[in-house]
Amino acid sequence: MNIISKLTGQFPQEDYPKESRIHPLLCQPSGRGRWFIKREDELGFFTSGGKIRKWRTLIPSLVQKKIDAAFLIGSAQSNNILGLSLLLLEKGIRPVPLLLSTHDLNPKGNRLFIELTCGRENIVFVERGSWHRVDETAALMASEWASKGYRTAVIPEGSYTPDAFYGAMTLASDILRNENESGCSFRHIFIEAGTGLQAIALIIALAIACHPASVSVLLLKDSEAEFQKKLEEWRLFLMERFALEVDRSRLHYSLFSPAVQKSFKPLSGSGMDHLIGFAKMTGVWTDPVYSGRLIMEAFSQAEREEMDGDLLLIHSGGLSSLFGFEKALQRRLSSV
C-alpha cells in the first residue's frame, strides 16, 4: 500500500471503481515523448472519470451525516450534477439541482438527463444575472428545508469540497499502480482544470508520494494566479489535516492556457473535426468541453516545451455531454 492510499484510507469510501488502465496512443505525435492515455472514462458512463473518484469519499460523508436532501450547484450541462444525482438517489438522498438557466425548451445532453432524473419541477433555475449569488440562494434554501425537518447539505460546483478531495487523491495512487504494472515512469502528466480540484489533488498527492513527474495543467476557467491561490490553500489545508509536511518545492507542475480557444466554451468547427479525427485514429472518444480540449492542446504544449520520456494524458471522462452535440456531429457525417 502506498502512502496516498494510507492517507485516503482514513476516510470511509464507497466501492466505486477506482482502477483504470493506461495504454499507448497508436498514433504518436511528432516530438520525443512516448505518449500514453489513462482511461478514466472507462470507470463509468454517467458516473465516470475524475468525478467518480471525488464521489467515493463525498457520498459516505453525506450518508454519515444522514443528509436527506442535497442542493447541487452547477451549469445546465454539469457532469457533476448528473452523476452525483444518480449516486444520491441510490442512497435515498434527494438531489435538488440549482442550474444556471439557459432557457432551453428542448433540453439536450446532460441537461436532458438531469431533468429526467431529478424532475423538472424539482430543479431551481437561476438566471445568469443572479448566478453570482447562487451559493447564498442554495444556503437559504437549505436552511428553509432544514426548518421543515430535512437534514440538508449544499454541494458546490464541481464538488469542490474537502470530502471530495480525499477521493480525488486516489488518481495519483492509481497512476503509481499503472507504473508498477507497465514499467513506465511518467515524466509529464497532462490534465485539464475546471474548478481545479482534480488537478490539485493529483499535484499534491504526487508530492506526498515524492513522485518526480510534473503535472501539466490546462487551465480552462481560472487564471494562473487563481489556480495557484487554490493550490496553496489546499496545500495548507492538507498539511494540517494529515499532520504532514508538503513543502512547496515538492509540488511539480506547470500551467498552460488553451492556444486554440481562450473562453470556456465547447469545441466547435475545426475543433470538432479534431475531436472526431482523434477518435477515428486512436479509438478514443473525448468530449468537446474538457478532454477534447486537452487532446487539442497537449501535443503542441509538449512540443513547445520539448518534453521527452513517458508522457501521460488523463482522459477524465465526461462523454455523456456528447449527446448535446448531435447536430454538430451529424453535420460532419458528410465530411468524414
Ligand X SMILES: *Cc1c(COP(=O)(O)O)cnc(C)c1O
**H-helix or E-strand containing 72?**
strand 69-74
Determine if 325 is a binding residue for ligand X (CB under 6 A). Answer: no
Q: How many other C-beta atoms are found inside a 10 Å radius of the C-beta of residue 96?
A: 22
* CA-based nearest residue to 20, from 2, 32, 3, 37: 37
* CA-based nearest residue to 302, from 189, 171, 196, 176: 189
Query: Least distance from C-beta 151 to ligand X, angstroms?
Result: 26
Determine if 158 is a binding residue for ligand X (CB under 6 A). Answer: yes
Query: Least distance from C-beta 329 to ligand X, angstroms?
Result: 18
Find the binder of ligand X among 57, 117, 195, 216 (CB under 6 A). Answer: 195
Determine if 44 is a binding residue for ligand X (CB under 6 A). Answer: no
Residue 8 burial (10 A CB sphere; 0-12, 13-18, 19+): buried
Residue 220 burial (10 A CB sphere; 0-12, 13-18, 19+): buried
- Name the residue nearer to ligand X (CB basis): 50 or 324: 50
Q: What is the DSSP string of 193-262?
A: ESSSHHHHHHHHHHHHTT--PEEEEEESSS-HHHHHHHHHHHHHHHHHHHT----GGG--EEEE--SS--
- Name the residue nearer to ligand X (CB basis): 76 or 245: 76
Find the binder of ligand X among 109, 194, 288, 292 (CB under 6 A). Answer: 194
Contact 4, 173 (CB under 8 A): yes
Query: Least distance from C-beta 208 to ligand X, angstroms?
Result: 18
Determine if 293 is a binding residue for ligand X (CB under 6 A). Answer: no
Q: Which stretch in 227-235, 262-270, 301-309, 310-318 sits in contact with ligand X by CB under 6 A?
A: 310-318
All 3 cell numbers of residue 154?
449544499
What gap in Å lies between CA 130 and CA 104, rounded to an integer? 18
Determine if 51 is a binding residue for ligand X (CB under 6 A). Answer: yes
Find the binder of ligand X among 75, 152, 198, 216 (CB under 6 A). Answer: 198
- Name the residue nearer to ligand X (CB basis): 119 or 237: 237
Find the binder of ligand X among 115, 192, 297, 310 (CB under 6 A). Answer: 192
- CA–centroid distance for 60 within its chain: 19
Determine if 291 is a binding residue for ligand X (CB under 6 A). Answer: yes
Find the binder of ligand X among 61, 75, 79, 216 (CB under 6 A). Answer: 79
If you search the block for the grid coordinates 443572479, which residue do you land on?
Answer: 130
- Taking residues 233 to 252 in sequence order and writing x for each that binds ligand X by CB under 6 A, - otherwise, the string is --------------------
Determine if 317 is a binding residue for ligand X (CB under 6 A). Answer: yes
Give residues in contact with ligand X (CB under 6 A): 49-51, 79-80, 158, 192-199, 287, 290-291, 316-318
